[in-house]
Structure 1
Amino acid sequence: MRLFTDEDQLIEGLCNSDPVSFRIIYRLHWKRLFDLACHIMQDEADAEDVVQDVFCSLWYRREQLQIRTALENYLVKAVKYTAFFYLKMQAARRNATLPEEAIPSPVNSTEESLFHKELEAMMNRLLGTLPFKTRRIFSLSRFQGLSYPEIANEMGVSVKTVEYHISKALRRLSARRGLF
């Protein structure tokens, strides 16, 4: 087993698809990022989704990464951006606007724009691996903000069926990321 002496070696390992480097980065930063996401999202499940999305994106983009700052700063910025994106999506789903100060708009840098596009592409690829019914139920829950009973009513299935498909989607998506 290799010993990593500094952050540059971890980043280099990550860029070279080394799962050990990724796991070390994950274990070093997960708690702080989760706490930050909880503070922003005010919901542990949503915060976990945000942090998971950031780490999935980090792994899927590993070969193209160009981190020009401290890794922790990069990850904190990614969590903030992703959390604010989630909040915007939730607000849009509720057809209500939150006060502008509640959702600061991210700096429109090329790197953030690229991060956002790659995150969306990764999510679309992952969702594309799900069966149609599971994908539809997951999308209604996560992207349209419907509750399980609302989804059950719309799809003409039981709440237990909705729970099953959401659980199935999360398991399959977790298995696809394969590193946590």
Structure 2
Amino acid sequence: MDRGIEEKYLKELVKGSRKAFEAIYMIYAPRVEYFLRGLLKNDLEAEDITQDIFYKVWSNHETIAQVDSFKSYLFRMAKNAVYNHYSHLLIKENYIEIQKNIQPYEDLVEEKIYAEDLELLIIMSIEKMPPQRKKIFKMSRLENLSNDEIATLLNISKRTVESHISQALADLRKLLVLYVITFL
């Protein structure tokens, strides 16, 4: 473009002339977009960034008078827009990567909370059992005694021990079903 015509359009642009802006846009937008396509290798992103650049030119048209070389100014804006674009992509990728790493931790914390709640519920359920059943269940599950050993220590039949353990386990199964239905 002839330097004199460009200066005329830029002076009109500073005053807010839409016609001057449209003329400058028609001359420079294809060049800027071509430049951006070469850097980005993506037609849509190049088109979007070109639109953003010319939106900024229009939004700041009063300051254009301070620019020594409009062409250099545009291509510097385009280069900076590409840097910002890639910087934004890098930030986005880092955020996604961090979220991938955080999610398993959050899942583990949630699972730990559920496990602690369930353990507390089981302990409370055991404590509410009739005294003999509670005693037999604790000896079996917490002290790891066999049914024969429990029967001998408590001076009861092995069948009674098995019956108490079966009933305790049935009670706990009911509790687990309610827990699963309620919390999961």
Normalising by structure 2, we get a TM-score of 0.47
User: Higher relative contact order by CA 8 Å / sep ≥ 6: 1 or 2?
Assistant: 1
Select the structure of larger CA radius of gyration.
2
Compare the two structures and name the one with the higher helix fraction: 2
